[in-house]
Amino acid sequence: MRKRILNSENSQPGPRSPSVGGRKGRVIPFPKRPRAVAQNHGKSPDKKLTILVVEDHGSLCDMLSLYFMRYGYHVRTANDGESALDIMNDEEIHLVLLDLMLPRMDGFAVLRQIRERACGKPPYIIVVSAGASAKDRHLVLDLGANEFLPKPFHLMRLLERIQNVEKYLLN
């Protein structure tokens, strides 16, 4: 059974989702903006976290950065461990979302380098990875990560964790 979408003004058929591979796609909207960002006309407040997303899958990296920017966070991205360390040397990063399986330098080596180079307060590190064994999870936490989040994960759950971390880091 096929339903038609009607506009309320003139009872004409409304726009349809684009066809993808013979099937109709659907658009999944972002959640509404929080009040603080919406009242500032999209400008982020002065005190917001700077998040470094270290992920080699470009589409996931782009989606996470857009999602966090929508909530007013400053976001930097890196697709390998070496460029992540370069960014951390040049800028103040508050929180790192780190994948373990990266080209050129894996997440374990990045964790070691971050903890060795940290002068002052090190960034809060959430390791986000798929297929990590229980041994890898313990090793990651022993190397200095603050949390481990297995893929796949819910964006809202990750956002809630980041908001909780923000309370402690910036207040």
Residue 34's alpha-carbon distances to 44, 46, 73, in angstroms, are 11, 15, 12
27-39 tens-digit pLDDT: 445 555 544 443 3
- The H or E element containing residue 155 is helix 155-170
Of 124, 132, 108, 155, the C-alpha closest to 51 is 124
Domains and CATH numbers, the chain: 46-170 (3.40.50.2300)
89-127 tens-digit pLDDT: 999 999 999 999 999 999 999 999 998 887 778 899 999
pTM over 0.75? The answer is: no
Torsional sign, CA 73, 103, 127, 94: negative
- Per-residue confidence (pLDDT) for residue 170, from 0 to 100: 79
Whole-number Å distance between alpha carbons of 128 and 143: 15
Q: Please, is 162 exposed, middle or buried when counting C-beta atoms within 10 Å of its C-beta (0-12, 13-18, 19+)?
A: buried
The count of other CB atoms within 10 Å of the CB of residue 111 is 23
